[in-house]
Chains A and B, each alone.
Chain A
Amino acid sequence: MWQGFPIRPEQASTIARGVDHLYYFLTAVDLFFTALIFLTVFYFALRYRRRSEQEKATQVEGNLALEVVWSFIPLAIVVVIFLWGTSLYIRNSRPPEASTEIFVIGKQWMWKLQHPEGPMEINELHVPVGRPIKLTMTSEDVIHNFYVPAFRVQKDVVPGMYSSIWFQATKTGRYHFFCNQYCGTNHAVMGGYVIVMTPDDYEQWLSGGIRGETMVSAGAKLYEQLACITCHGTGKGPPFVDLFGRPVKLSDGTTVLADEAYIRESILYPSAKIVAGYQPIMPTYKGQVTEEQILQLLAYIKSLSSGEGKVTK
């Protein structure tokens, strides 16, 4: 739009234009009916203004046909909006199969963004253009929200659970992201930039800079350091190979899907769900692992699943 007075953020993701089109339609509907009502009211008020105290109005009490018409036309319009908006939303909320997963941890009042290849960023997120990115997020304290206006996407980041969004950037550049759920004193400064780079630049960025180990290898180290291997590697606990993304039978007869939430819960609250055929002997690791470490363990466990069991949230 014109530079001086923008009415929308940049369209920097694949879904932005679709959302904007629906927004324009809604704006048109809103302005149309507001104008219609205001102008009609003004017209009537003027045309039928009282000219003398004795003047009598013409009583018109109702008109069923009119009531039906002006009930059904708004109904039709909202049905159209509902269907359009819902289908767009369903399409927009399904991350494509081959998304790169990046992990986000929010805490008062900063963001930690962990690339699976190793680099960890604070308040900044480098991503390649043209590739679908899935953000899996959790909070260490209160509810936050990761919001990128230019991508038209946001989600609450909730302690105790994982939430996720996905986007595919369509042009390089720097785009603001904000915390969008009030979280205390420095809520307003808890943000940063998403930096979209060409794939080559991104590869270069990934390999340069601060070299950490990949999440998978960090997770593998934790698997040994935290002694998970003493049970899960010896048959005392359920094995992790081919676990992620597959159904698990529990001792009470029910079946659950081994997704991120299940694994996180098993680490922190192991007695909540006991796998059929095993004893409830696992100690809790609550207080001994950070959210980052849980994500590293998750990455490791996922890597042990052939064909990478997919779980969409």
Chain B
Amino acid sequence: MGTATVEPGIESRVHYLNAGYGIKSWLLTTDHKRIALLYLASITFFFFVGGAAAVLMRLNLITPQGAVFEPATYNKLFSMHGIIMVFLFMIPSIPAVLGNFLVPLMIGARDLAFPRLNLLSWYVFMVGGLFMLYSVIAGGVDTGWTFYTPLSTTYANTNVISAALGVFIAGFSSILTGLNFIVTIHKMRAPGLTWFRLPLFLWAIYSTSVIQILGTPVLAISIVLVALERLIHVGVFDPAVGGDPILFQHLFWFYSHPAVYIMILPSMGVMSELVTAFSKKRIFGYSFIAFSSVAIAAISFLVWGHHMFVAGQSVYAGIVFSALSFAVAIPSAIKVFNWTATLYKGSVSYQAPMLYAIGFIGLFTMGGLTGLFLATLAVDAHVHATYFVVGHFHYIMVGGAVMGYLGGIHYWWPKISGRMYPDGWARLSAAIIFIGFNLTFFPQYMLGYLGMPRRYAVYAPEFQVLNVMSSAGASILGVGYLIPLVYMVWSMRYGPVVGPNPWGAKGLEWQTPSPPPTENFEETPLVTEDAYAYGTEETQVA
């Protein structure tokens, strides 16, 4: 079915990609689908910048004395890696790309509630990103992405203020996107689309949006206070002038813990879509998964102190935060079991999206369970701030969230571009990524328990073997991420053209042509069945 020339169908039909040419039609668009692609380009760029920093870090860690960089440079690398990956890649990724593209399609609407606000959101994001790029070019920042005080307010002599402002500005993008999604999902569902008929991806996006709008403002003021203190040396956080450094940690983590759920919940939403589509089955336990999303969002605001067990917090506060942190693990476990059960007696196929889904389920389970180690007070007292933590969060964010993101991109790519990518290459990349990932990050659990601290430019010689393994894995992982960049771009021009529903999947987004017309649907659809209503009728590939 491959073709080297463009099929007449896709070009003669008007859809969102060709409904206007020229740079203005893209930079001034209010079409949520085009805005999603603007975000896709931006965050892919930031992903590779942050990824380059990671490659350089792992290169340096091949030898105990630091193979390549001075400690001062290494410190900037890990700070930029963290800041860029968290604020300019992970937090926007699925919501701003897949969410923007799919939310209106999945609810049968023509666009989001506030399309111009959506465009503003992207511009705000880009301004934040520019501040960050400025910080990199002007010499970097070396406080770590956590900006702990008084290091960041008083002692660091790198570009703290511009980096902090970059984070502050990018945060508004997150708030506006979340606001848009909440209003859209509440007010613009197609007739017949009740809350409990929504695809679970939307429950996940909705829960994420609630966290975004409630948590991000607190980060905003924390980071502004840091910038202010750095400017005028007033003592909010610096004890030498009467401030409280622990206050900063409370304010910072009050947002930054829920932030990690901003990063994982949307991927979990993607999982529900992938396991159903690729096993042609209704989801097992719909309402359990839906309520789990909401529960995770709610409990996520109550656990921030688990980052501060050894910070000088009282033992009693530690106990409360520990208990709540265990509680937040339960809904995630429920989701994993339900996805697994969905495969039972299904009709399972293994295209690339499903491979990413399987990878996610296993790696998220392992990584999530290592969270239990950290929630356990007696064990955290040993592994806090070691490579164990680094392993834990990379299993969840990379083995989990990024795999979910890639799975989603591959699944919805035919809808976004109207073409199919080459599945052979896609599966190969998924396998390379899986192998490279585990080789990179599993040794880090071991390094952590052995006592290797994180954020170390040089390390004790007894840690070398595991570090070399990890760096070798990173090189493989890097290759794995580069391959999709190539074939996805290739497919935009040369991939075989597809119809509205190449996967034979359920969902309103598959009821409209690929790529969709600007207004999404010729007529507002009427919804009469539950989500994932496989088995009620033949769902042919179309």
Contacts and interface: CB of A to CB of B under 8 A. Distances in A.
Given A30-B366, A160-B240, A23 B449 contact: yes
Contacts of A41: 340, 343, 358, 361-362
A48 B315 contact: no
A122 to B, nearest CB: 19
Contacts of B454: 182
Interface residues of B, number: 90
Contacts of B336: 37
B451 A86 contact: no
Contacts, number: 268
Interface stretch (B46-54, B284-292, B471-479, B509-517): B284-292
Given A45-B343, A158-B246, A179 B366 contact: no
Contacts of B34: none
Contact of A49 (B350, B369, B535): B350
B451 A178 contact: yes
Interface string A133-163: 0000000011101010110111110111101
Contacts of B148: 142-143, 181-182
B534 interface: yes
B372 A30 contact: yes
A44 B344 contact: yes
A70 B240 contact: no
A98 interface: no
Interface in B292-341: 310-312, 315, 318-319, 322-323, 326-327, 329-330, 333-334, 336-338, 340-341
B450 interface: yes
A67 B335 CA distance: 10
A176 B460 contact: yes
Interface in B362-396: 362, 365-366, 369-370, 372-373, 375-379, 381-382, 384-386
Contact of A158 (B245, B284, B375): B245
Given A7-B446, A38-B362, A82-B323, A75 B376 contact: no
A61 B343 contact: no
Given A19-B378, A143-B151, A49 B449 contact: no
| Chain A facing B: main interface SS | mixed
A142 B369 CA distance: 33
A71 B382 contact: no
B279 interface: yes
Contacts of A153: 381-382
Interface in B236-274: 239-240, 244-246
Contacts of A70: 333-334, 337
Given A181-B148, A184-B142, A22 B379 contact: yes
A234 interface: no
A59 B535 contact: yes
Interface in A189-206: 189
B345 to A, nearest CB: 4
Contacts of B343: 41, 44-45, 48
Contact of B280 (A38, A42, A56, A141): A56
A188 interface: yes
Given A33-B365, A182-B148, A85 B379 contact: yes
Interface residues of A, number: 84
Nearest to B323: A82
A208 B451 CA distance: 33
A156 B247 CA distance: 14
B377 A149 contact: no
A290 to B, nearest CB: 13
A48 B344 contact: yes
Given A34-B366, A81-B326, A188-B457, A149 B450 contact: yes
A23 B372 CA distance: 10
A60 B344 contact: yes
A86 B322 contact: yes
B451 A108 contact: no
A55 B333 CA distance: 30
A93 interface: yes
Given A38-B361, A161-B239, 18 more contacts: A6-B462, A19-B381, A41-B361, A48-B348, A51-B347, A56-B280, A59-B534, A66-B341, A67-B338, A71-B333, A82-B323, A86-B377, A92-B381, A142-B150, A154-B381, A156-B311, A180-B385, A183-B151
18 contacts: A7-B450, A22-B378, A26-B373, A26-B379, A38-B361, A48-B346, A48-B348, A60-B281, A60-B344, A61-B286, A67-B288, A67-B338, A79-B326, A82-B375, A93-B315, A142-B148, A142-B155, A180-B386
